[in-house]
């Protein structure tokens, strides 16, 4: 079974709730039900996933499975032996399963979806949770057909649904009268605009309350929500900006410099010219245009820029880019904190083309 949906749409919470019901039903029927939840962003190799599940089935006297060192096939054999010994039903939940496939391929999924052919006294069920609706397109058709026998799509929450979630949390965690009118509506609307992420709405509300407390104000109003939104945006983007490699920082620097000069929908050619000029000022060898195009794609994937391909008629296709960094974040200053060369590049004068 596969569960799809954007982050914050309730996939993991619903899965845990249903697993709890299955455990209760198993006790009621006198059947053994075991559940195993693996976060594939943390446990992200074939060996570690199998080792983690098999270790949870260990009994006193069993040989411990090391974190590394055994052949993966041997660990898989131990897993089958321990499942067979335990009997009952085993439910494996692989959260962020797309991350595992991206790093380790789909070989493990083939093994896990084939476990029942090796089990006589036990049964195994695999549940995959993914944020990527197109994730199965990366899979071998045999794996995809086994894994996608049941697909459940979690649609993004709308503003009214998010507001219901917030109202329930507020009634349990805040005194009456603490929130000004419009606060829940604003938190819900802002979160609904960002893919309907309920976690985002809860974070907005939590930080809004903190902002009011910091100012010794007894009522949270929409101004605190706006402050919280800026804080969240800053906290999300700043660590990424600081850890970017030098040439990606120089690319972002070039885009922001052009935007500060009034240019929008910046061509890759203009971006490259400013980038090469910045490299010259700090005595760094510029990368090739082809490599820069690849780095722009990576920045687009990270959500730091918005890139789109545009047709130029017989001239072919070109890419235009704009910064996607919130205005509340001073990108150049932030990157300069971790890379002095960016601060040095910012001191120079540039031959920039402004918006006509």
The reply, when asked if residue 157 is annotated as ligand binding, is yes
Q: Residue 176 in 3-state DSSP?
A: coil
Element housing 154 (H / E): strand 151-154
Give Cα 298 distance to the centre of its chain: 15
Q: Which two tokens stand for residue 69?
A: 């060192």
Question: Distance between CA 280 and CA 273 in Å, rounded?
Answer: 11
Contact 340, 273 (CB under 8 A): no
Given phi > 0 = left and psi -120 to 50 = alpha, else beta, which region is 185? alpha
Question: Distance between CA 93 and CA 38 in Å, rounded?
Answer: 6
Q: Residue 33: which of 23, 25, 24 has the closest Cα?
A: 23
**25 DSSP assignment:** H
The reply, when asked if residue 293 is annotated as ligand binding, is no
The reply, when asked if residue 31 is annotated as ligand binding, is no
Residue 61, CB-side half-sphere exposure with 13 Å CA sphere: 1
Q: Residue 277 in 3-state DSSP?
A: helix
The reply, when asked if residue 9 is annotated as ligand binding, is yes
**150 DSSP assignment:** S
Contact 209, 173 (CB under 8 A): no
The reply, when asked if residue 169 is annotated as ligand binding, is yes
Residue with tokens 């970017």: 244
Residue with tokens 């594939």: 40
Contact 188, 199 (CB under 8 A): no
Q: Residue 199: which of 243, 172, 232, 231 has the closest Cα?
A: 232
What residues are designated binding site for ATP?
9-13, 157, 169
Annotated binding site: 9-13, 157, 169
């Amino acid at each position: 079974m596969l569960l799809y949906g954007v982050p914050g749409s309730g996939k993991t919470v619903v899965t845990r709730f249903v697993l709890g019901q299955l455990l209760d039903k198993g006790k009621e029927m006198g059947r053994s039900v075991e559940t195993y939840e693996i976060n594939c962003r943390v446990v992200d190799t074939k060996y570690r996933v199998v080792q983690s599940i098999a270790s949870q089935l260990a009994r006193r006297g069993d040989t411990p499975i090391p974190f590394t060192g055994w052949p993966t096939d041997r660990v898989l054999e131990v897993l089958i032996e321990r499942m067979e010994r335990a009997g009952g039903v085993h439910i494996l939940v692989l959260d962020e399963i797309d991350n595992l496939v991206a790093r380790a391929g789909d070989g493990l999924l083939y093994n896990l979806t084939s476990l029942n052919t090796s089990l006589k006294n036990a049964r195994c069920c695999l549940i995959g949770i993914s944020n990527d609706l197109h994730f199965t397109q990366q899979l071998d058709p045999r794996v995809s057909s086994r894994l996608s026998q049941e697909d459940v799509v979690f649609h993004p929450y709308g503003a009214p649904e998010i507001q219901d979630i917030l109202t329930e949390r507020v009634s349990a965690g805040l005194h009456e009268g603490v929130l000004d009118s419009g606060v829940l509506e604003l938190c819900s609307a802002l979160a609904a605009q960002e893919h309907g992420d309920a976690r985002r709405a809860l974070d907005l509300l939590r930080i809004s309350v903190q902002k009011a407390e910091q100012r010794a104000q007894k009522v949270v109003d929409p101004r605190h929500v706006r402050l919280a939104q800026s804080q969240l945006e800053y906290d999300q983007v700043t660590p990424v900006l600081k850890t970017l490699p030098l040439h990606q920082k120089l690319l972002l620097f070039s885009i922001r410099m052009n935007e500060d000069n009034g240019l929008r929908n910046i061509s890759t050619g203009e971006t490259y010219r400013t980038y090469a000029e910045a490299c010259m000022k700090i005595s760094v060898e510029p990368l090739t245009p082809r490599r820069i195009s690849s780095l722009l794609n990576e920045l687009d994937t990270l959500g730091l820029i918005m890139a789109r391909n545009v047709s130029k008629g017989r001239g072919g296709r070109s890419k235009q880019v704009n910064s996607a960094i919130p205005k509340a974040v001073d990108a150049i200053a932030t990157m300069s904190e971790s890379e002095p060369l960016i601060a040095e590049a910012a001191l120079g004068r540039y031959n920039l083309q402004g918006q006509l």
